[in-house]
């Protein structure tokens, strides 16, 4: 147990280092996660023998569940509405076209069986949201004509279709019958939509209309929603990935409390999920097997990248009068990654006797796609003159916050404060500050210059933001009943000349203190030294 935990810790630490220095290597981080997995694998340095595809499928499907949710949660529909229809067409019809062309190539040229060809096309038909998001963010790559949003929505939403095709392919292997496929398609789409939308509205009702969720438990509640929608959808043969994606889309584009806390939390969860998937891919891989499938894999890479994907993109985007440059860039940006890996693991886990080494074929394709295609996206975008330097790609995500030169401050006026019974126009506020509102006895007042400030008022001020230089030393102290400062005024403390009490946090109020301010139990005192 101890050795296992130590190894897990080491692996996670190595992945953090890989993420930190990926930019210097000029290579997407995910390919480095894959490399770390290979180092620990059977053919690597540490010789960890791992070939449990059933276990890997469960772990990877759970990881993909959170990736899909966060892909939806972090997609800003308001920004993407101009390209939404194009993206949806690419993520549905485009996936089917790509899968069909790739499958036909495998069947007629590579002489795979019909079912094997169908599975290869299905598994590799979706593009990878994690890889696309990572490249756009890290390279700060905003693209002209809404191309960034187009790629984000397409890559975030096309996994359910690829998953459905893969499930159909697996059923063909097991049943050899086509009669159940129409019902399966209906079940996947109908229950996937139903569960996703239903749980989204259940979640919104609980968040907005009840007090069930205590402060600090928002993330736990959200995890319960994700797992419930995913699990129930799987149980009733719905498209579970579609369910969690819709759940994320609806919740992410609705005003809910503590969203600013949820976003970094799920950013971390998604990062861990990506590490798990790509590490397991590397761990399951046997490099010694790669030469045997190298040629067919490279042929599939070529047909997928240069023919199947471009045909799908051009066929669907040209009717919208998209430029040739936009179509070319969109075609090249169809990276294969996490979803394809998970689906290939699922195929092997459920069909262990299948003769074709589908897993290692997908490994080779993902290796090429993430390393070569991913690395060249910025250069190709620049070559095609598709980079928009006047916009910020972060605006296409829900976690974007406009840079602001002001900040808001809550200021409580206790009895005896030097602002008490003075007009707004007569008090000495910081330069460029403005009183936005006054909260008084449960009512809100929009102040003017002749508005009088009363004791027990709470002022909401806009003040210029301050960019710290790094030389400041701020310390926050929680006051207990036994502290010598408790129930004393600031005058009575006899503080050193280089120490200043800058702020007192009392409940939900922030007090700007003076010498007569009384420090009470449970106050948080902010000291400046």
Both 456 and 383 in one domain: the answer is: no
Last residue of a domain, one of 364, 390, 416: 390
Both 86 and 214 in one domain: the answer is: yes
Q: What's the pLDDT at 471?
A: 47
69 near 343, Cβ under 8 Å? Answer: no
The residue among 209, 210, 248 whose CA lies nearest residue 229 is: 248
The 3-state DSSP class for residue 34 equals helix
Q: For residue 331, what is the domain's CATH number?
A: 1.20.1530.20
Token match 């930019």: residue?
Answer: 23
The residue among 105, 85, 125 whose CA lies nearest residue 309 is: 125
Token match 């006797």: residue?
Answer: 353
Q: Work out how many domains the chain is built from and give that number.
A: 3
Q: Which domain holds residue 499?
A: 473-529
Last residue of a domain, one of 358, 390, 422: 390
Strand arrangement of the beta sheet that strand 443-445 belongs to:
406-412, 458-464, 434-440, 443-445
Q: What's the pLDDT at 465?
A: 57
Both 441 and 479 in one domain: the answer is: no
What does the pLDDT look like over 389-430, one tens digit per residue?
766 566 666 654 544 455 677 788 888 888 889 888 888 776
The residue among 369, 354, 371 whose CA lies nearest residue 166 is: 354
Q: For residue 510, what is the domain's CATH number?
A: 3.30.70.1450
Residue 162 makes CB contacts below 8 A (sequence gap 6+) with: 95, 99, 122, 123, 125, 126, 339, 340, 343
* Pairwise CA distance, residues 281 & 181, whole Å: 30
Name the DSSP letter for residue 110: S
Both 461 and 483 in one domain: the answer is: no
List of the chain residues with pLDDT < 50: 400, 402-404, 467-471
Torsion of CA 381, 382, 384, 385, to 10 degrees: 110
* Pairwise CA distance, residues 352 & 108, whole Å: 24
Both 280 and 356 in one domain: the answer is: yes
């Amino acid at each position: 147990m101890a050795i296992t935990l130590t190894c897990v810790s080491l692996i996670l630490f190595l992945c953090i280092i890989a993420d930190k220095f990926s930019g210097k290597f000029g290579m997407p981080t995910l390919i480095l996660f894959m490399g770390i997995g290979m180092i620990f694998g059977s053919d690597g340095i540490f010789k960890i023998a791992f070939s449990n595809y059933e276990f890997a499928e469960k772990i990877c499907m759970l990881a993909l569940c959170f990736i899909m949710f966060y892909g939806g949660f972090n997609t800003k529909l308001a920004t993407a509405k101009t390209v939404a229809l194009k993206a949806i067409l690419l993520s549905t019809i485009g996936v089917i076209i790509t899968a069909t062309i790739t499958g036909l190539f495998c069947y007629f040229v590579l002489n795979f069986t019909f079912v094997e060809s169908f599975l290869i096309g299905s598994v590799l038909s979706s593009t990878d949201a994690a890889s696309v998001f990572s490249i756009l963010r890290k390279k700060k790559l905003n693209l002209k004509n809404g191309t960034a949003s187009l790629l984000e929505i397409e890559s975030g939403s096309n996994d359910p279709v690829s998953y459905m095709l893969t499930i159909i392919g697996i059923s063909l292997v097991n049943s050899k019958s086509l009669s159940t496929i129409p019902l399966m398609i209906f079940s996947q789409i109908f229950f996937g939509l139903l569960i996703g939308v239903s749980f989204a509205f259940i979640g919104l009702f609980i968040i907005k209309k009840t007090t069930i969720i205590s402060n600090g438990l928002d993330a736990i509640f959200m995890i319960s929603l994700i797992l419930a929608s995913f699990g129930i959808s799987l149980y009733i043969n719905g498209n579970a990935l579609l369910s969690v994606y819709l759940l994320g889309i609806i919740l992410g584009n609705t005003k809910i409390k503590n969203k600013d806390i949820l976003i970094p939390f799920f950013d971390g969860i998604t990062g861990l999920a990506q590490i798990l998937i790509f590490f397991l891919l590397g761990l399951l891989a046997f490099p010694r097997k790669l030469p045997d499938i190298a040629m067919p894999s490279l042929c599939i890479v070529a047909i997928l990248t240069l023919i199947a994907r471009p045909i799908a993109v051009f066929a669907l985007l040209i009717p919208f009068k998209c430029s040739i440059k936009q179509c070319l860039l969109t075609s090249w940006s169809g990276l294969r990654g996490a979803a394809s890996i998970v689906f290939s693991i699922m195929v092997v886990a459920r069909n262990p006797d299948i003769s074709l080494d589908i897993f290692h074929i997908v490994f080779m394709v993902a290796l090429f796609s993430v390393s070569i295609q991913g690395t060249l996206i910025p250069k190709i975008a620049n070559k095609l003159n598709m980079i928009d330097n006047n916009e910020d790609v972060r605006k296409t995500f829900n976690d974007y916050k406009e840079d602001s030169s002001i900040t808001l401050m809550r200021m409580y006026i206790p009895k005896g404060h030097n602002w008490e019974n003075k007009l707004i126009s007569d008090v000495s506020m910081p330069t460029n500050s403005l009183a936005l509102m006054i909260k008084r006895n449960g009512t809100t007042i929009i102040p003017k210059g002749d508005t009088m400030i009363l004791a027990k008022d709470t002022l909401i001020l806009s003040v210029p933001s301050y960019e710290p230089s790094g030389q400041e030393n701020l310390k926050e102290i929680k006051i207990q009943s036994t502290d010598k400062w408790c129930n004393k005024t600031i005058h009575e403390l006899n503080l050193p000349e280089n120490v200043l009490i800058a702020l007192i946090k009392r409940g939900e109020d922030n007090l700007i203190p003076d010498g007569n301010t009384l420090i009470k139990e449970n106050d948080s005192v902010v000291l400046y030294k």
